[in-house]
Amino acid sequence: MNIKQSKEIWAFLALSLILLFNLIFTQGFFSIEIRDGRFYGSLIDILNRAAPIILTATGMTLVIATGGIDLSVGSLMAISGAIAAVMISNGDFPTIFLFVVPIILTALLGVWNGLLIGFRGIQPFIATLILMVSGRGIAQLLTGGQILIFEHQGFELLGRSYFLGFPVAVSVALLMALAINLFVRKTAIGLFIESIGGNSTASRYVGINDKMIKVSAYVVTAICAAIAGLIMTGNIRGADSSHIGLGMELDAILSVAIGGTVLEGGRFHIGGTILGALVIQSLTTTILTLGVPVEITQIMKALVVVLVSFLQSENVKEIFSQYFNPRKKALLTPIEKQIDDSTKEVLNV
Amino acid sequence: MSEINTFRPAGLGYRIFNINKTYLPMITTIIVFLIMYSFACLSHPMFFSLRVFVNFLISNSFMGIIAMGMTFVIISGGIDLSVGSMVGFISIFSAYLITNLEIHPLSAILICLLFGAAFGYFQGFLIDRFGFAPFICTLAGLFFLRGSAYVVSLESIAINHPTVDAITAFAIPLSQKISLPFTALVYLIVFLIMLILAGFSTFGRNVYAIGDNENSAILMGIPVSSTKRKIYMLSGICSSLGGIVYALYTFSGYALAGSGLELDVIAAVVIGGTMLTGGIGFPVGTFVGVLIMGVIQTFITFQGNLSSWWTKIMIGSLLFVFILLQNIFSKTAHK
């Protein structure tokens, strides 16, 4: 019963399938070497590359749970990376500033998203589209349209260094996800978020400050995206404004969907999201190691989206239950059902 | 939405906004275009010429064609994110058909259009029958088409065919030096068809009805299901036509063509005064919206000292202003 209800099970199954496939077809996929006190291997590589996805997807989970969506995460990553790179090349700031300032400035952009959505009631998809389009322009403006290359010992710690043999980025991502999960689950905030995703108006009448919670969800996402941007910038030792985080919004949304969070909002599962991010990255890595053109991943992602939508769709469930239970079939034809639903909706029953 | 409707006596503000509710966004768009265009003409005298204006039509023709289809999708309350990838796929696919498989260009064009229609219809089918969110479903379409484009060919393919040369050489002379080439002509023809479709056809009226209130549309007996599928099919046809125009315009197919185009197209439609909540919007507005994008791009080229990223920032800011205006309009109209 417990397993049947668990939403994470699908992501877990998908991940196991991909790993099983690799166990059989890819030689040395599971081998982990220790060199210079660091772990090396495909699995570590997957974790390392999944770290930015885990971070942004964790924030995205909260946003989607409130019934929203944040398309601007990719651009926010580019902006935070660009700010850090500009700071490094233009002055001698203490290392801590290189992390704090980009995160705070990017968080302000999250406030902007939240204000448009929470307080003005603009559709999330559209409101964040503004920053998605202009954000990358702002990042390019900051770096002058070039790839700003830098060397900075302290800053690179986040993206390149290892802690206890594991990449620091992975630990940061997982810690962040864990902290957010603990925070929303051990306080009432998680419940508030789910209630807003279920019915925003009803939540307001119950006394939940839906506007502020929506704003905070977007701020948290912006902070997560900022950290992800710093990781990627530190990793390549350069701010590549036109490519960092490109397409990240799609990966993040996909991770959330695979993780069992319904895209219409409501219940959310951060654990599932982390698994979802790992599914996406291991899929990409598998395709890479197979020697198939990496572009195939996009087709795979498309099929995964359709599959997940099928699993989440209420209509599909009904069609199937009608198919297997012919007595139900006689009740309503699709058109009749549509009319029935619309009547209820119009009458507000 | 679950707003509580209370009866209020119609005040002046209510009447003004209610009368103009449908046209106000579009009128704003036209005013913005005139202001921007005259500003550009004042700062660069060369801007005010027929050649520059025709160039707006030529360089943005494929975007405009796609935006026409997108207008219908957005009026119906949906969204189609797959258009940019469709351009990439169709451009490489048509080049592959013509150059590698040596199919006659006209049949290749027909195949591409049929593919676009079928793909669009399939997306509409998933959205309508299984209740997929349009945003998610067409996102999958975006991935799928882009991936398929790479599968066809990673390298760009050149198109060399006498028929293609004949098609692209066709132009209507406007003056001694300036003529309206075939890309602009296709755009204008599509624009005319969409004008008729939106204003004078049952399909167009159904689209507006669905966008305004889908439930009432169902209860009124409007064929909502089939109309929805047709809307996405129309968008598919428009975007594949855009891809063909792109391929013929550049004489080549390239898998990366049109990446990020969907956002420019949505921006053009929104700037053109189509309400994202559905129900309100006109092809004329979209046409002006595309012109505004053209003015921004051309102005930045004329200015010389502005870099290309200013285009993104400008489009983003315009998008913001228009979305905010829409937001204020719709709130005023509801009260």
The more confidently predicted of residues B305 and A119 is A119
Domain limits at B132? 50-258
If you ran DSSP here, which 8-state letter would residue A90 be given? Answer: T
pLDDT value at position A273? 92
Domain of A259: which CATH number? 1.10.3470
Identify whether A116 is part of a domain.
yes
Across-strand partners of A148? A239
Contacts B315 to A, Cβ<8 Å: 133-134
User: What is the residue range of A346's domain?
Assistant: 317-349
- Tally of CB atoms within 10 A around A287: 16
What are φ and ψ of residue A166, in 5° steps?
-105, 150
A253:B139 CB<8 A: yes
Mean pLDDT value of segment A230-258: 85
CB contact under 8 A, A345 and B215: yes
Whether residue B307 is contained in a domain is answered as: no
Q: Is the model's pLDDT at A33 over the cut of 90?
A: no
Kindly state whether A348 is in contact with chain B, defined as any CB-CB distance less than 8 angstroms. Answer: yes
* Banded pLDDT at A41 (limits 50, 70, 90): confident
Compute the average pLDDT of residues A161-187.
88
CA distance readout (Å), A131 to A84, A138, A285, B312: 19, 9, 30, 10
Residue A2: the pLDDT is 53
Same-domain status, A162 and A275: yes
Q: Do A91 and A158 belong together in one domain? A: yes
Task: Give CA–CA dist A245/A240, Å, rounded.
Answer: 9
Q: Are residues A306 and A326 in the same domain?
A: no
Total domains present in chain B: 1
My answer on whether A185 and A324 are in the same domain is no
The one-letter amino acid code at B114 reads L
pLDDT at position A5: 59
ipTM of the complex: 0.76
Answer for the pair A7, A259: CB distance below 8 angstroms, yes or no: yes
- Do the chains contact at B312 and A121, CB–CB below 8 Å? no
* pLDDT at residue number B3: 45
CA-nearest of B65, B49, B255, B236 to B146 is: B255
Domain count, chain A: 2
Nearest CA in chain B to A301: B143
Contact across the interface for A138 and B313, Cβ inside 8 Å: yes
Q: Sorting pLDDT into bands at 50, 70 and 90, what band is A1? A: very low
Among B133, B216, B277, the residue with its CB nearest the CB of A263 is B133
* A281/A341 same-domain check: no
- Does residue A148 fall inside a structural domain? yes
Residues A263-277, mean pLDDT to the nearest whole number: 88
Interface probe with A: pick from B130, B305, B310, most Cβ of A within 10 Å: B130
Same domain? For A186 and A263 the reply is: yes
Q: Which residues of A touch B313 (CB under 8 A)?
A: 134, 137-138, 141
- Tokens matching residue A242: 């036109």
Q: Tell whether B332 is covered by a domain.
A: no
CA distance B268 to chain A (A): 12
Together in a domain, A284 and A308: yes
Provide the pLDDT for residue B21: 64
Say whether pLDDT at A328 is over 80: no
Indicate if A218 and A326 belong to the same structural domain.
Answer: no
Question: To the nearest whole angstrom, how far is the Cα of B209 from the nearest Cα of chain A?
Answer: 14
Q: Identify whether residues A199 and A260 lie together within a single domain.
A: yes
On whether any CB of chain B is under 8 Å from the CB of A250, the answer is yes
A347 pLDDT more than 60? yes
Local structure of B220: helix, strand or coil: coil
- Residue A84 domain-assigned? yes
**Does residue A1 fall inside a structural domain?**
no
- Residue-level pLDDT at B18: 52
CB atoms within 10 A of CB B183: 22
> How far are the Cα atoms of A149, B112, B113, B180, B183 from residue B240, in angstroms, in the given order?
40, 7, 6, 22, 14
The stretches in chain B having pLDDT less than 70 are: 1-21, 332-335
* A171/B48: higher pLDDT: A171
Is a pLDDT exceeding 70 seen at residue A349? no
Note whether A177 and A254 are same-domain residues.
yes
Per 3-state DSSP, chain B is made up of helix, strand and coil in percentages (nearest 5) of 75, 5, 25
Query: Does residue B29 form part of some domain?
Result: no
Average pLDDT over residues A161-177: 85
Residue B297 falls inside a structural domain: no
Contact B272, B288 (CB under 8 A): yes
Residues A18-30: tens digit of each pLDDT: 888 888 887 777 7
Shortest distance between the Cα of B177 and any Cα of chain A, in A, equals: 37
A185 lies in a domain? Answer: yes
Percent of chain A scored above 90 by pLDDT? 28
A326 with A283, same domain: the answer is: no
- Per residue in A271-289, pLDDT (tens digit) is 999 999 999 898 888 888 8
Chain A residues inside the 8 Å CB shell of B218: 338-339, 342
Report yes or no on B314 lying in a domain: no
- CB of A182 within 8 Å of any CB in chain B? no
Give A 98-127 residues with CB within 8 A of chain B. Answer: 116, 120-123, 125-127
Rounded to whole angstroms, the Cα distance separating B320 from B315 reads 9
CB atoms A309 and B136 under 8 Å? yes
Do A265 and B96 meet the contact criterion of CB atoms below 8 Å apart?
no
Q: Is residue A9 part of a domain?
A: no
Please indicate, yes or no, if residue B285 is contained in any of the structural domains: no
- Nearest partner of B268 among B105, B122, B68, judged by Cα: B68
Is B98 among the domain residues?
A: yes
Tell me what the pLDDT averaged over chain A comes to.
84
